[in-house]
Amino acid sequence: MRTRSVALAIMGVLVGAVGGSMLSPRPTGAVSKEMLQLQEDVSQLLQGQQSMRSAIDGNNASMHTLIQQQLDAINSMNAKMNDLQKSVGEATANDSSKIDTMTSQTQGISDNLQDVQARVGKLAAQMNEIQGSLQSIDGRLAGGATPSMAPASSSPVGPGPGANATPPATDAPPLVPASAPARAPGGGMAGIASDTLYQNALRDFTTGKYDLSRQEFSDYVKNYGSTDLASNAQFYLGEISYSQGDYKDAVAQYNVVLNNYPQSYKLAASLLKKGMAELELGMKATGARDLKEVVRRFPGTDESRRASAKLKELGVPATAKSAPR
């Protein structure tokens, strides 16, 4: 029993010693070591934060530089785009003028071809008539019929016995066939001169020799104002002024065609170009009115299509809208 008590007492002493060692405060050296470790960790954290801040500041500076460079590039591009738009606008204006000139020159070439075709057709018709006349004369000669130049009241005298059957020669002029074509007004040397003058003027116009062409067309209108090509010559006087930028004189020349040559097939073209010239002079209302008149009077023509396109460009309806009922 006593031995058991001693053993229990010893065990209690050991347990108390262990518990006391566990519950007793740590030594001062261990606490200082942990504090030093904590301070070192805090210092490293602060250094990392400082490095991160420096990196962020550097990145911000680089980003600001890049943004500024992009803004400068955008501003430079905008300036170049403005210059390009200006150049395109000027080029478009020049191209429009060149297109009008080319259109006029093409129209001149087309008229030249039409004139040549018309003259060839007339020559072919005259050749057919002459050939028919010759065939008629050949038929009469083959049938033994000879034209009598004696007066209708005189009695024919037959040949005597043994006389030559060949009719005596006469001094009368040869018989002109009834089917021979009559000379048209302005024909002969005058007709040749007028055609040559017109062709020379048209050729000089299509090759850009405007001053020379103006003189030739003016001479044609002055000397051959009653021919079929007079209205064409007058129209090209307007085209020359239009091509040279003298839109006021162009309007005056086109008005001569419209007022003096009501049957001219240049009426549609004259009215169209008059409206175009008025627009160039800043007369928008008058020009738009004339273009509408082209659409109304000459539907389906090339001039009508060009007038409609120009009115659309101006934002003006080609035809008046009907009033609501």
Q: Which of 53-57, 94-98, 251-255 has the highest mean pLDDT?
A: 251-255
> Is the model's pLDDT at 248 over the cut of 70?
yes
pLDDT confidence of residue 89: 67
Determine whether 42 is exposed, middle or buried from the number of CB atoms within 10 Å of its CB (0-12, 13-18, 19+).
Answer: exposed
> Is the model's pLDDT at 29 over the cut of 60?
yes
Mean predicted confidence (pLDDT) in 54-59:
82
Model pTM score:
0.48
Distance CA 3, CA 86 (A): 120
Mean predicted confidence (pLDDT) in 154-164:
40
Q: Looking only at Cα atoms, what is the longest distance across the chain?
A: 214
Mean predicted confidence (pLDDT) in 252-272:
96
> Is the model's pLDDT at 100 over the cut of 80?
no
The percent of residues in the chain predicted with pLDDT above 90, rounded, is 37
pLDDT confidence of residue 311: 96
DSSP 277-311: HHHHTT-HHHHHHHHHHHHHHSTTSHHHHHHHHHH
Q: Which residues contact 12 (CB under 8 A, 6 or more apart)?
A: none
Span 189-319: which CATH code?
1.25.40.10
Q: Give which of 158, 136, 162 is closest to 147, Cα–Cα.
A: 136
Q: So where are the chain's domains?
A: 189-319
Which of 57-66, 164-173, 208-217 comes out lowest in average pLDDT?
164-173
**Residue 291 CB neighbour total at 10 angstroms:** 28
Mean predicted confidence (pLDDT) in 217-236:
95
Which of 178-182, 248-252, 320-324 comes out lowest in average pLDDT?
178-182
Element (H, E) at 271: helix 267-280
Distance CA 287, CA 131 (A): 54
Top pLDDT among 131 and 300 is at 300
- Work out the pLDDT band at 233, boundaries 50, 70, 90: very high
